[in-house]
Chain A
Amino acid sequence: MSVVGERLQPTLFERSRPGRGGGKIPHPPAGALDRIPAGARRATPAALPELAEPEVIRHYTNLSQLNYAVDTGFYPLGSCTMKFNPRLNEWAARLPGFANLHPMAPDAVAQGTLQLLFELEQQLAEISGMDAVTLQPAAGAHGELTGILMVRAYHLSRGDTARTEVLVPDSSHGTNPATASMAGFRTITIPSAPDGGVDVEAFRSALGPQTAAIMITNPSTLGLFERRIGELLEATHEAGALAYMDGANLNAILGRFKPGEAGFDVMHFNTHKTFSTPHGGGGPGAGPVGVRSHLVPFLPAPRVVRAEGGGFRLETPGERPQTIGRMRSFVASTGVLVRAYAYIRAHGAAGLREVSDDAVLAANYLKVRVGEAYEIPFDQPCKHEFVASAARIKAATGVRTLDIAKRLIDKGYHPPTIYFPHTVEEGMLIEPTETESLETMDGFADALIEIAREAAEDPELVKGAPHDAPVRRLDEATAARQPNLRWRGMTGAQTPCPD
């Protein structure tokens, strides 16, 4: 159980030895804590690890090398848009003027950041065809919640209390129905049509005076543009409901489709997908939300607005009484948004359109190549990602998509998204992004084709993969049945803190 593999690292707690470290913070004068009553004080020091700086650096450097990342290789994780993260943006976010600005600093002190946020709102509004944007949400799902709470506030403001349902296609991200529940709505799941789009007839029959909103991902999670989107939007509005667009796949349609112009009422952006802000091993992201004018009164507070007499300011409390309120502690994940702003400025209109053109071109090219050995269930041109299926391989060899994904690791690639959307049997959702070269894509396609051959010739080889990763497949069942979520029993006794 506690065998640590060759490339694996002992934990901080196994490395810790009493008395190591120090030299960082001066000791406070004696009696600094005398005013803290005994009952409120910590009796025994926290059992945190004690390490010297060289060990800290080695620990985390070695750990980092157990990760696969965009910087180390091709990461075609569908729905996640794992594009290159420009280094200028990392530099910019760390400029002291941005990095050291306190979120409750007065407006007069924060003019640079306020201007940046204001301009970014304008840029995102233009890109999406929306009338206004809030930068407050910290992630896509947070943006969804913001958007659906605004939908709720909108209906209630009109005295319309009967709208209790949100319609969601069966291929949607799980965040959509989870969001609807958090906002107090019931989710109605709409089936997909055989072409992968929303089943419009089923959709129409589910719509009614009880429908608050529809949540549509467009292009869909299958990487397909919702061709009957015009009909869906019209029917939605005829029923008095609002249309929410999950903008996870915006990277495919920059400059080609503006959701606000087409009739969506509200949408979120994922800056960590479309606008290249880094994914950070799971986050942070940012999930700005754009709205049409009828939802502006409900935007979270505070917004960044122009100040009388020039400059910018945050709204004051009570300034917009119909606001849904605050979604988080402070105004936005500004450090993430500096990066998104830099990305949009570096590209301009022509560059952003080229981003989408190249992302879609790459996906369609890779689809043709992967189609040499895998089924492609939908023949419509894909957008920035496509679904391939290993159902035929599974039937013939017993090798599943999961096995193929693990075998890709041996061949030096990050696996695509697998078993999502749930609507495709043995599916893999492949998204190359616009920042991968032709050689990289060819190498990946060749690897997938070779795995298909291996599955036929030596299925056990594929089923046992990965063979060449830091660890083999994990016992996830035991991890869930007897959760061990923290280390207990650190090496060595704690030394008392000098007072």
Chain B
Amino acid sequence: MVPGDLRYTKDHEWIRVEGDEAVIGITQYAADQLGDIVFVELPDAGTGLAQHATFGVVESVKAVSDLFAPIGGEVTGTNDALAGTPEVVNSDPYGEGWMVRVRVADPAQVDGLLDAAAYEQLTAEG
């Protein structure tokens, strides 16, 4: 079950809008596919993200995956705890395993993302 209050991308990122900011992470499905996550590379605060562009990298023991920005906007904060404990992305991807906060540039971009039902259908199809 994926959280119903989030929006998703087909690249397995999730996004939670909080006022004029949004929090971004990867889904449990993505974390499971990668396996034991050992490293997360995130942009510095102040970096401008373009929608769909890569903004970071997640590494597991034997795989690597780019992170794609679900929406555009400026990075206002990153989850620094992931540097020391990247494993929380596996254990709590929607909570402690969040990755970046961005200032939402265009709320309409959020509306274009998948809702929980659509994302679940996507992962069910494999």
Contact = CB atoms under 8 A, between A and B. Distances in A.
* Direct contact between A and B judged by beta carbons closer than 8 A: yes
Interface of A: 419, 476-477, 480-481
Main SS at interface, chain A: helix
16 contacts: A419-B62, A476-B36, A476-B61, A476-B62, A477-B36, A477-B38, A477-B61, A477-B87, A480-B38, A480-B39, A480-B59, A480-B61, A481-B38, A481-B39, A481-B86, A481-B87
Given A480-B59, A481-B38, 14 more contacts: A419-B62, A476-B36, A476-B61, A476-B62, A477-B36, A477-B38, A477-B61, A477-B87, A480-B38, A480-B39, A480-B61, A481-B39, A481-B86, A481-B87
Contacts of A419: 62
Contacts of B38: 477, 480-481
Main SS at interface, chain B: loop
Interface string B30-65: 000000101100000000000000000001011000
Chain B: number of interface residues, binned into ranges: under 10
Contacts of B36: 476-477
A227 B2 CA distance: 46
A481 B87 CA distance: 9
Nearest to A419: B62
A419 B61 CA distance: 14
Contacts of B87: 477, 481
Contacts of A476: 36, 61-62
Contacts of A481: 38-39, 86-87
A261 B59 CA distance: 43
Interface in B82-97: 86-87
The 10 closest A-B pairs by CB, nearest first: A477-B36, A480-B38, A476-B61, A481-B38, A477-B61, A477-B38, A480-B61, A481-B86, A480-B39, A481-B87
A481 B39 CA distance: 7
Q: Could you say which of B39, B59, B61 has the most chain A C-beta atoms within 10 Å of its C-beta?
A: B61
B111 to A, nearest CB: 32
A476 B59 CA distance: 13
A481 B59 CA distance: 10
A481 B86 CA distance: 8
Contacts of A477: 36, 38, 61, 87
B42 to A, nearest CB: 16
A419 B62 CA distance: 11
A50 B1 CA distance: 59
B17 to A, nearest CB: 31
B86 to A, nearest CB: 6
Nearest to A422: B63
Nearest to B90: A477
A477 B36 CA distance: 6
A480 B36 CA distance: 10
A476 B86 CA distance: 14
Nearest to A476: B61
Interface string B17-28: 000000000000
Contacts of B61: 476-477, 480
A384 to B, nearest CB: 26
B65 to A, nearest CB: 13
A481 B62 CA distance: 13
A7 B87 CA distance: 32
B66 to A, nearest CB: 14
A415 to B, nearest CB: 15
B21 to A, nearest CB: 29
Contacts of A480: 38-39, 59, 61
Interface string B96-121: 00000000000000000000000000
B63 to A, nearest CB: 10
A481 B36 CA distance: 10
A476 B61 CA distance: 7
A403 B49 CA distance: 42
A476 B36 CA distance: 9
A480 B61 CA distance: 7
B69 to A, nearest CB: 21
A343 to B, nearest CB: 34
Contacts of B59: 480
A481 B90 CA distance: 13
A177 to B, nearest CB: 13
A476 B39 CA distance: 13
A328 B39 CA distance: 33
A480 B38 CA distance: 6
